């Protein structure tokens, strides 16, 4: 049994006041949160949603085209909800323009909401994203890179806080046998997204797409995984209807991959 702390070891009033001030300052640095609207997901997030002044990272569960498409649409749905107010704009920075606009529009991110910026390499894409964050006029910034070291992610996190703008960083697979999350990061959350089997229909056809969502890391919280239905036309996720009979349909994966028309 451990001994109780002596009076000399207990924090004094000044120390407690300083600690409270630090906690208050930390809370002030956090922005409003964007809840997913899915209780099973929101209740497991430390802030019950995504911090609108923070960096959030995404990676596909594999280098497969279908998982790449699912990750893109997952991030696009979040960006669409951050840009829900009329006149809001999302900056999407990337080095290779292989997005399919109608696919993004299916999850709520229409052409009137997106401003695209293209850099020749990752460093230029990261610089474009940082400038967009610090401007403070955007609803959200999305960037796609193959690599970003901890210094780069720290700069993005600081820029997101300074500009009061959420940053969504999609780490694309460089190699099939290496996860992009092998690199350390200053991100507040890190998500791994993949395709999941859709529900069997009582008639011929393809069921609604489902995703495997894994929160690999979050600040002040624990990792978890969850299966959800893909974003609707407003970027909202949902829990799958309970079903005992599920089937893996290759047609679903091909349809989802075609939604963003990624190059293999």
Q: Which of 97, 149, 104, 100 is nearest to 123 (CA)?
A: 149
Question: Predicted confidence band at 248 (pLDDT cuts at 50, 70, 90)?
Answer: very low
Question: What confidence category does residue 180 fall into, taking pLDDT thresholds of 50, 70 and 90?
Answer: confident
Q: Contacts for 238-243 with beta carbons within 8 Å, 24 or more apart? A: 238/38, 239/38, 239/40, 240/199, 240/210, 241/199, 243/199, 243/200
Q: Which residues contact 197 (CB under 8 A, 6 or more apart)?
A: 210, 246, 247, 248, 249
- The residues, any chain, with a CB within 8 Å of residue 204's CB and separated by 6 or more, are none
* Confidence tier at 12 by pLDDT (50, 70, 90): confident
DSSP string, 136-173: ---SEEEEEES---HHHHHHHHHHHHHHT--EEEEE--
Mean pLDDT of 9-15: 65
- Each residue of 40-68: pLDDT tens digit? 999 999 999 999 999 999 999 998 999 99
Mean pLDDT of the chain: 85
Nearest partner of 236 among 125, 98, 87, 76, judged by Cα: 76
Give 119-148 pLDDT, tens digit per residue: 999 999 999 999 999 999 999 999 999 999
pLDDT at position 156 is: 97
Write the burial class of residue 187 (CB in 10 Å: 0-12 exposed, 13-18 middle, 19+ buried): buried
- Residue 27 pLDDT exceeds 70: no
Residue 183 has pLDDT above 80, yes or no: yes
**Confidence check: pLDDT of 77 > 60:** yes
**pTM (2 decimals)?**
0.81
Q: Cα(259)–Cα(66) distance, rounded to whole angstroms?
A: 10
Q: Please tell me the distance from the alpha carbon of residue 188 to that of residue 35, in angstroms, as a whole number.
A: 15
Angle at 196 between CA 190 and CA 198, to 5 degrees: 145
Q: Is 174 a residue whose pLDDT tops 70?
A: no
By C-alpha distance, which of 139, 144, 30 is closest to 81?
139
Tens of pLDDT, residues 232-242: 999 999 999 76
pLDDT surpasses 80 at 82: yes
Provide the pLDDT for residue 13: 74
Measure the CA–CA gap between 203 and 229, rounded to whole angstroms.
Answer: 19
């Amino acid at each position: 049994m451990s001994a109780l702390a002596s009076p000399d070891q207990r924090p004094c009033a000044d120390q407690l006041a300083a600690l409270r001030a630090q906690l208050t300052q930390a809370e002030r640095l956090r922005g409003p949160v964007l809840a997913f609207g899915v209780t099973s997901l929101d209740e497991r997030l430390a802030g019950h949603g995504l911090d609108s002044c923070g960096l959030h990272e995404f990676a596909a569960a594999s280098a497969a085209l279908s998982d790449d498409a699912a990750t893109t649409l997952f991030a696009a749905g979040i960006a669409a909800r951050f840009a829900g107010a009329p006149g809001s704009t999302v900056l999407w920075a990337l080095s290779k323009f292989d997005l399919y606009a109608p696919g993004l529009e299916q999850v709520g991110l229409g052409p009137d909401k997106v401003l695209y910026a293209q850099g020749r390499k990752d460093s230029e894409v990261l610089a474009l994203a940082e400038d967009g964050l610090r401007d403070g006029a955007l609803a959200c910034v999305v960037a796609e890179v193959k690599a970003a070291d901890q210094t780069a992610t720290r700069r993005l996190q600081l820029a997101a806080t300074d500009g009061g703008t959420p940053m969504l960083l999609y780490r694309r697979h460089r190699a099939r046998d290496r996860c992009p999350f092998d690199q350390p990061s200053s991100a507040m959350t890190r998500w791994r997204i993949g395709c999941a089997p859709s529900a069997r229909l009582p008639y011929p056809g393809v069921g609604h797409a489902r995703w495997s969502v894994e929160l690999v890391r979050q600040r002040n919280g624990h990792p978890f995984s969850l299966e959800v239905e893909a974003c609707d036309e407003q970027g909202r996720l949902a829990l799958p209807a309970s079903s005992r009979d599920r089937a893996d349909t290759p047609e679903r994966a091909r349809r989802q991959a075609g939604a963003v028309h990624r190059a293999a």
